[in-house]
Structure formats: C-alpha cells, structure tokens
C-alpha cells in the first residue's frame, strides 16, 4: 500500500482514473516516475491552457524567485500586481472596450463565484440567483447551491438555498424555447420564482458535459437580464482564457456581462489565482468585506502577466485555437460516423470538445481507460460521466494533437470491438 492509500482521504478522485505517480511535465506532455510519457488532454481541468511549464513563464518565475521578489502580499500593492494590472488592462480590457473593476479574490474559482454572488445580492437587495441545469460553479456552500450535480449537492450536508435552476440552452430538446420559459417565470409575479439578483451562466458547460450555448441564446439571456435589471454573471473559469478561442468565451456573442469570474488558466502556470471583473457601478464593496489570505499571490501575477503578453497581444492565438478546434471536431465527427449505431454526439467550441453516448454512459469511461493504457490522459464529464471530454492545452503542437486524436479513435475502436463490453451493454447490434 502506498502512502497515498494509507494517509490520503478517500475523497481523492483523478488518481483513481490515472493510477501512476507523475513527476515532470512540459507543454502537452506529462511524465510518470517510470519514465512513461503521456499526452495530456486534461490540462489540469482547464488550468493549463498554455501547457505545462511554459519556458518563457518559467524563466520569469525563476528570475523573480532568485531576486527575492515578494511572494505573498495579501492585498497590499506590489510591483508584480501592478504589472499584471497594466498588462491585463492593455491587452485584455482596453482592446475590448471593456470597462471593469478588478477584484482579486482568494485564488480559487469558487471563491470568485462566492464573491460574485455577494456582490449581486448586495447591489440588488435580492437573494435569489438563477443558475442553469448541469452548471458547475464550485463546492463551497454558496457556489455548490448553484451547481446542478447532486453528487456535489448531497455532500453539503444541509439543504441548499437561494438558487433557482432553469433549463440551459438545448436542455429540453432542440425546439424548446428555454429562454421563453425563463422569461415567463420572471414576468409572472405568481410563478414562485423570486426575482433574482443575478443569473450565472457558463457559455460552455465543461463539467456538465460540454453543453454549448448558442450566441443567440446568450444574447437573449443578456436581453432578459437587462430588461429586468438582473445582474448577468458569466462564469468563465473553465471556458475563459482562450479555451473557446477568444480570451473571454462570450466575445463572439457580443454580450457584455455585468460580472465575470476568471481562474484556472489565468494563473498561467497552474498557479492558483482568481479574479472577479465587475462593471464599475457594481463595485459597492466596503474595504475588506471579502478577503482571503492568498489573494495576493505574486508568483501567479508574474506568470499571468507574462502569459497575457505572450499570447494575447494580437489575434494569432485565437486563430490557432480555431484551427486546432476544427481539426478536433473533424476527427470526432469521423469517429461518430464510424460507429453510427452507437449514437455518438459530438459538441464543443474552440478547444473544448465532448463526444457523448447517451445510450451507453459507461462507454466514455471505458474509452478513457483504454486511452490511458495508450498513454493519453483524457477525462469524462456530464451527469453520468457519459461524455468523453477533450481539453488539450491550447498550445499543443498539431502533431501531438493528432497523435492524441489517433489514440482516442483507437480507444473507441478497442472498446467497441470488445465482445464482453458490447454484450454487457447491449451494443452488439450497434457495432455490427
């Protein structure tokens, strides 16, 4: 028995799917202590958009450490934070004509979501938040109330309050007018829906199974929010920082959320960092009302600033992401087409893609296992873990990306030609 087994809590999870001890990493490749090299299609669940240990960022971090740069500064001013703010303003906010105030919350996504909810509730004097089916926003008490999956909800140990769930785009089938439904509940003062302080939405639901909201739907949602003076929060923790091809995931929709949460890849090197963007009139905080020991993590500021300068000075990166995204889509479509009887659904945007199998939810997990045997790290998501989820680093070399996609295809092939599996899941017909 390893020390992980004897000492670590049963709550650990990813190590069960990828049972080896990792040591090093670089770009889209991660290595274990036996020297096995894996292509990483997980990318820290979206935290490693710029790959592992990007050399230019690494150099900056080492330089900063060597010169005894201030590492921990609470919310005091530091030159590292200033540089981040300047770079973020110059390359992210200013070109997009986005006027936002920046709040550094505790360095986790859920902390940014909790801060967003507080802000919205205090600014409006209302308590309710509208969240969407299959949404994931974190597991601290405020955030988990807005998280759909009962795996997380039940763990809270108390009933969850002050959030109402509405159907996400496509949740009730292609034709259903989910926004019309939301509007009806808001307009009708007898619907039982308490007028919300805010709506929180992911433009693509990563944890929820790679569900993609259309630009039209997002625009319609913004319209409803504006009409009823509801604060629109876009949770861009997983899908922001380029995952959907533009820095903010919603840029092509042309919407302008009141509040945006960022984390995961923001810290650029896998370093904990989160922030909240809010329209200036919403910045109604009193000093110190929301705090956190690690809200001034200067290594993350250094890495984040460098990444923004490296990747977001112009639109090249976006073009690359789109190109690679199309490549992924083509390959996945081909896989789905190879096994038409299984009923695989391909969906995604930018470089977040899912291939879902409703009829046999276990398929995704089985393919993930087969892929790991073939040195590809790839996870599942969705209600029943029925969606194989592709989240490669955005910087992955095309060749590696194609290798990874080859493994995905081989893994489907392997699983879907395994008689025992097919029989167990009534797929024999399907694969003929």
Interacting residues with a copy of itself between 24 and 43 (CB under 8 A): 24-26, 30, 33, 42
Task: Return the residues of window 260-299 that contact a copy of itself according to CB under 8 A.
Answer: 263-264, 269-272, 276, 278, 283-294, 297, 299
The nearest distance, CB 330 to a copy of itself, in angstroms, is 29
Token reading at 10:
């049963």
The nearest distance, CB 383 to a copy of itself, in angstroms, is 4
> Per DSSP, which regions of 273-369 are E strands?
275-278, 344-349, 352-357
The nearest distance, CB 83 to a copy of itself, in angstroms, is 10
Burial class, 149, CB count within 10 angstroms (exposed 0-12 / middle 13-18 / buried 19+)? middle
Rounded to whole angstroms, how far apart are CA atoms 210 and 264?
Answer: 17
> In which element (H, E) is residue 201 found?
strand 198-201
Please name every residue paired with 352 in a beta bridge, in sequence order, or none if there are none. 349
Near a copy of itself by CB under 8 A: residue from 75, 402, 413, 418: 75
Asked whether position 313 contacts a copy of itself by CB under 8 A, the answer is no
Q: Which is nearer to a copy of itself, 13 or 429 (CB)?
A: 13
Please name every residue paired with 106 in a beta bridge, in sequence order, or none if there are none. none
Burial class, 392, CB count within 10 angstroms (exposed 0-12 / middle 13-18 / buried 19+)? buried
Token reading at 84:
């981040």
Rounded to whole angstroms, how far apart are CA atoms 268 and 273?
Answer: 9
Q: Which is nearer to a copy of itself, 47 or 318 (CB)?
A: 47
The nearest distance, CB 417 to a copy of itself, in angstroms, is 29
Task: Return the residues of window 98-157 that contact a copy of itself according to CB under 8 A.
Answer: 101-104, 106-111, 114, 117-118, 120-122, 127-128, 131-135, 138-143, 145-153, 155-157
Q: Which is nearer to a copy of itself, 65 or 337 (CB)?
A: 65
Residue/partner pairs of 108-111 with CB below 8 Å, 24 or more apart: 108/138, 108/263, 108/272, 108/274, 109/137, 109/138, 109/235, 109/237, 109/238, 109/261, 109/263, 109/264, 109/274, 110/137, 110/138, 110/139, 110/140, 110/143, 111/138, 111/140, 111/274, 111/292
Q: Which is nearer to a copy of itself, 194 or 424 (CB)?
A: 194
Measured over the CA atoms of residue 419, residue 422, residue 425 and residue 429, the dihedral's sign is negative
Q: Which is nearer to a copy of itself, 197 or 416 (CB)?
A: 197
Residues 6+ apart with CB under 8 A from 329: 346, 348, 353
Rounded to whole angstroms, how far apart are CA atoms 406 and 384?
Answer: 25
Q: What is the DSSP letter of 72?
A: B
Choose one: 10-18, 223-231, 367-375, 391-399; the region binding a copy of itself (CB under 8 A).
10-18
Asked whether position 47 contacts a copy of itself by CB under 8 A, the answer is yes
# of chain residues touching a copy of itself (CB under 8 A):
147
Q: Which is nearer to a copy of itself, 157 or 340 (CB)?
A: 157
Q: What phi and psi, each to the nearest 5 degrees, are found at residue 220?
A: -65, -40
Q: Which is nearer to a copy of itself, 82 or 323 (CB)?
A: 82
Near a copy of itself by CB under 8 A: residue from 86, 316, 423, 424: 86
Near a copy of itself by CB under 8 A: residue from 12, 281, 319, 323: 12
Which residue shows structure tokens 């001034």? Answer: 296
| Count of Cβ atoms closer than 10 Å to residue 410 Cβ | 15
Task: Return the residues of window 384-423 that contact a copy of itself according to CB under 8 A.
Answer: 384
Task: Return the residues of window 148-207 that contact a copy of itself according to CB under 8 A.
Answer: 148-153, 155-165, 167, 171-172, 180-181, 184-185, 188-195, 197
Q: Which is nearer to a copy of itself, 31 or 409 (CB)?
A: 31
The nearest distance, CB 201 to a copy of itself, in angstroms, is 13
Near a copy of itself by CB under 8 A: residue from 1, 34, 35, 67: 67
Choose one: 217-225, 244-252, 380-388, 412-420; the region binding a copy of itself (CB under 8 A).
380-388
Near a copy of itself by CB under 8 A: residue from 36, 37, 56, 62: 62
> In which element (H, E) is residue 319 found?
helix 316-338
The nearest distance, CB 420 to a copy of itself, in angstroms, is 25
* Dihedral over alpha carbons 390, 394, 398, 403 (to 10 degrees): -30
Q: Which is nearer to a copy of itself, 211 or 318 (CB)?
A: 211
């Amino acid at each position: 028995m390893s020390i992980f087994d004897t000492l670590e809590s049963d709550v650990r999870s990813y190590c069960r799917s990828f049972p080896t001890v990792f040591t090093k990493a670089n770009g889209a490749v991660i290595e274990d202590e036996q020297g096995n090299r894996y292509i990483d299609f997980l990318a820290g669940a979206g935290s490693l958009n710029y790959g592992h240990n990007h050399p230019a960022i690494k150099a900056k971090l080492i330089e900063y450490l060597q010169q005894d740069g201030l590492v921990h500064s609470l919310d005091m001013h530091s030159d590292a934070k200033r540089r981040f703010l300047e770079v973020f303003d110059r390359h992210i906010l200013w070109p997009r004509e986005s006027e936002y105030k920046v709040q550094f919350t505790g360095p986790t996504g859920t902390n940014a979501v909790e801060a967003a909810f507080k802000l919205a509730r205090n600014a409006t004097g209302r308590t309710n938040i509208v969240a969407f089916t299959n949404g994931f926003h974190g597991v601290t008490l405020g955030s988990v109330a807005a998280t759909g999956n009962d795996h997380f909800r039940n763990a809270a140990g108390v009933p969850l309050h002050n959030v109402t769930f509405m159907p996400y785009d496509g949740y009730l089938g292609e034709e259903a007018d989910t926004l019309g439904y939301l509007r009806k509940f808001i307009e009708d003062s007898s619907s039982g829906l308490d007028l919300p302080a805010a709506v929180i939405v992911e433009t693509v639901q990563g944890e929820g199974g790679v569900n993609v909201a259309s630009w039209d739907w997002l625009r319609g949602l913004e319209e409803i929010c504006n009409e009823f003076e509801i604060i629109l929060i876009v949770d861009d923790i997983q899908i922001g920082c380029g995952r959907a091809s533009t820095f903010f995931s919603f840029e092509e929709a042309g919407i302008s959320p009141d509040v945006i949460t960022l984390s995961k890849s923001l810290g650029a090197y896998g370093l904990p960092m989160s922030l909240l963007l809010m329209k200036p009139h919403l910045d109604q905080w009193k000093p110190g009302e929301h705090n956190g020991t690690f809200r001034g993590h200067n290594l993350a500021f250094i890495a984040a600033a460098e990444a923004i300068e490296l990747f977001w000075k112009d639109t090249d990166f976006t073009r690359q992401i789109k190109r690679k995204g199309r490549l992924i889509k083509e390959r996945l479509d081909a896989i789905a087409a190879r096994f038409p009887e299984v009923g695989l659904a391909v969906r995604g945007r930018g470089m977040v893609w899912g291939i879902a199998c409703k009829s046999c939810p276990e398929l995704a997990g089985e393919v993930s296992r087969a892929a790991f045997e073939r040195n590809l790290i790839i996870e599942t998501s969705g209600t029943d873990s029925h969606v194989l989820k592709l989240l490669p680093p955005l910087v992955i070399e095309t060749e590696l990306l194609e290798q990874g996609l080859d493994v995905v295809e081989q893994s489907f092939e392997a699983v879907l030609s395994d008689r025992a599996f097919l029989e167990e899941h009534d797929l024999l017909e399907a694969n003929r």
